[in-house]
Structure 1
Amino acid sequence: MRKSLYAGLAVLLAAVVPAVPANAVHAYQNYVALGDSFTAGPQIPEQRLDPAGCHRSSANYPSLLADLLVARSAVDASCSGADTTHLTQPQEVGDDMNPPQLSALRPETDLVTVGLGGNDYNLFQRIVETCPVLRAQNPTGAPCRQYFTVNGSDTLRAIVTQTEGNLTDSLRRVRERSPKARVLAVGYPRIVPANGFCGAILPFADGDYAWIADLEAALAGAIANAAAASGSSYVDVHGPSLGHDACAQGGSAWVNGAVDRDDAARFHPVRAGMQGVSGLIYAHLQSP
């Protein structure tokens, strides 16, 4: 399985990032990954049991990146459902508990990836649980955008603004805990396409696609701003995932649609997406 993962990763690297010289990437020895389900990889084989409720995959991007870097130690503290509060607070996952993710950091940690923000104030959950239900009201309109617009204000855009502040504080905490580490704020891949729609895969009203795409772009901007404000580095996944949204055909999608699969949760990354993100991070590490 691992061999097939890297065969696929080589193809994705060639497609979305520049060629990576063999000796170009600094030798990182102590890597820690923090994040939510887009980091953990629910239902992507093989699932880890430490704890099982976090739904971490042994083929998620932290695992693939650790192998690419040949890191001496790699700790994946990501957990499905996590938001920025779970950096400092334990997270209940079924009958288990995931400790505060910051507890994985050490003074000797020299690389940290942080993939958080989409769960703050239940941003993603509000979209994927509400918008498909409202589609029947106006299949060609934008009923979900209208639902979340109150007194002329887009309440979900307001959430993105609040999330930027949370991320800025969170990234500063990471840097305080591991001052020698290079800290990377990792963005999210696109769920909806930049143009068009695919109702059989993503059951949103036609007019809501563009609105959701704008929210995804706004969240990417918020993560980039938080990285800059905290002295961290932003890994753009939104831009390079153009054409790899859930509507993409021919196996090029990085994200699953609205139906659970044996190898990917609904509205979550597939294995190709994890390969793509690990390649983007690896290429980013070439920069000073």
Structure 2
Amino acid sequence: MRRTASALAATLCAVALGLTTAGPAGAKSSPPTADPHSVKTSSYVALGDSYSSAAGVAPFVAAAPATCSRSLVNYAHDVAAVTRPSSFTDVTCSGARTSDFFSSQAPGVAPQLDAVTKGTRLVTMTIGGNDEGVFANSFFGCATLSSTDVMGSPCERRYGTTFTDQIVNETYPHLVAALTAVRKKAPAASVVILGYPRILPATGQLSCYRSMPIAMGDVPWLNHEQDVLNATVRRAARQTGARFVDMTPSSLGHDACQPVGRRWIEPAIAPVNAFPVHPNALGEAAMARETLLQLGH
């Protein structure tokens, strides 16, 4: 078990985790800026982090910087395949933070806002999970601590409300600034921001420990952290007039502890065609489906 936890910690560091097909539940909007059937989808710009780029999911966009791990089957490409915009620009990039909307994330990677213009009519994204390093730090901490108390909650005892406090007090204003900047550059656009799909089951499962080595008592604690993050994204969307797509209802039962073919999130150990603790192609398709509900398709 100690070796498993160490493997997760090493994997999380290596991929620089941002955080972090049944029929979908209804997507939720906060607030709707227009009747869905009147939303224009051309031109379309996709922004966001690794959950938007579909990090690790082959096949990849050949011309994209390797650091972005931008997939041809990410949810934005799925949305574009249905809406058929006259112009589609995908600048999603693994590891992106809200600050990378304004400045270069890495050599050869332009600020994401550079892709947004006055003529843009649709913008989609997931963003915020990498801010303050909350997602990576919380999972990293839990991975390294879990072997000391598999049945307990060592991560919660160590960190308490540290990460949720950072989300509420620091990530929230960053989200508002990023969404406001998108709105300023594309005042006529429908801006859609997705919440993050559920990563873990409702309670700890010993049968899942080898692939997701999180102490049993820390599973609800991490779920609460993710709920706080998604609520913060929703709040920022409401504040800036963006649409919020709630991925939690439809992703329940499709967490990283589920078998191949049912799970939307790949586990930390031995993931299949996706970065660890990231959406696979099924998860990206589900995110596209919920987004399309917002757009009246």
Same fold (TM over 0.5): yes
**What pairs with 1:247-258 in structure 2 (closer than 5 Å)?**
247-249=257-259, 251-258=261-268
**What pairs with 1:44-123 in structure 2 (closer than 5 Å)?**
44-49=57-62, 50-92=64-106, 96-123=107-134
Q: How far off is 1:195 after superposition?
A: 2.9
User: Does the CA-based 8 Å contact 2:146-2:213 persist in structure 1?
Assistant: yes
**What pairs with 1:18-33 in structure 2 (closer than 5 Å)?**
24=37, 26-33=39-46
How far apart, in 2, do the equivalents of 1:195 and 1:283 lie?
A: 30
Residues 141-194 of structure 1: CA distance to partner in whole angstroms, max 9, x if unpaired?
Answer: 111111213xxxx11011110211211111111000000100011111111112
Residues 243-267 of structure 1: CA distance to partner in whole angstroms, max 9, x if unpaired?
Answer: 1111123521110011244511111
Residue in 2 that maps onto 1:40: 53
Residue in 1 that maps onto 2:163: 156
Query: C-alpha root-mean-square deviation of aligned residues, in Å?
Result: 1.9
How far apart, in 2, do the equivalents of 1:237 and 1:127 lie?
A: 21
- Cα distance change on mapping 1:213 and 1:193 into 2, 3 Å: same
User: Does the CA-based 8 Å contact 1:135-1:203 persist in structure 2?
Assistant: yes
Matched, 1:190 2:198: yes
SS of the residue corresponding to residue 264 of structure 1 reads coil
Name whichever of 59-68 and 127-136 sits farther off.
127-136
How far apart, in 2, do the equivalents of 1:126 and 1:196 lie?
A: 20
Residues 85-116 of structure 1: CA distance to partner in whole angstroms, max 9, x if unpaired?
Answer: 00001011xxx421100000011100001210
How far apart, in 2, do the equivalents of 1:135 and 1:262 lie?
A: 23
Q: Does 1 or 2 have the higher relative contact order (CA < 8 Å, sep 6+)?
A: 2
User: Does the CA-based 8 Å contact 1:27-1:69 persist in structure 2?
Assistant: no
How far apart, in 2, do the equivalents of 1:173 and 1:42 lie?
A: 25
How far apart, in 2, do the equivalents of 1:77 and 1:260 lie?
A: 28
Residue in 2 that maps onto 1:281: 291
> As a proportion of its length, which structure holds more strand?
1
Residue in 2 that maps onto 1:5: none
What residue identity is the alignment partner of 1:253? R
**Structure 2 spans left out of the alignment, 5+ residues:** 1-20, 27-35
SS of the residue corresponding to residue 124 of structure 2 reads strand
Q: How far off is 1:236 after superposition?
A: 0.7
Q: How far off is 1:42 after superposition?
A: 1.5
Residue in 2 that maps onto 1:201: 211
User: Does the CA-based 8 Å contact 1:35-1:115 persist in structure 2?
Assistant: yes
Residue in 2 that maps onto 1:181: 189
How far apart, in 1, do the equivalents of 2:211 and 2:250 lie?
A: 21
User: Does the CA-based 8 Å contact 1:30-1:73 persist in structure 2?
Assistant: yes
- Cα distance change on mapping 1:275 and 1:25 into 2, 3 Å: farther
How far apart, in 2, do the equivalents of 1:219 and 1:166 lie?
A: 13
What residue identity is the alignment partner of 1:166? H
Matched, 1:131 2:145: no
Percent identity among equivalent residues? 32
Structure 2 length as normaliser, TM-score?
0.85
What residue identity is the alignment partner of 2:296? Q
Equivalent pairs, count: 265
SS of the residue corresponding to residue 57 of structure 2 reads coil
User: Does the CA-based 8 Å contact 1:259-1:265 persist in structure 2?
Assistant: no
How far apart, in 2, do the equivalents of 1:26 and 1:106 lie?
A: 17
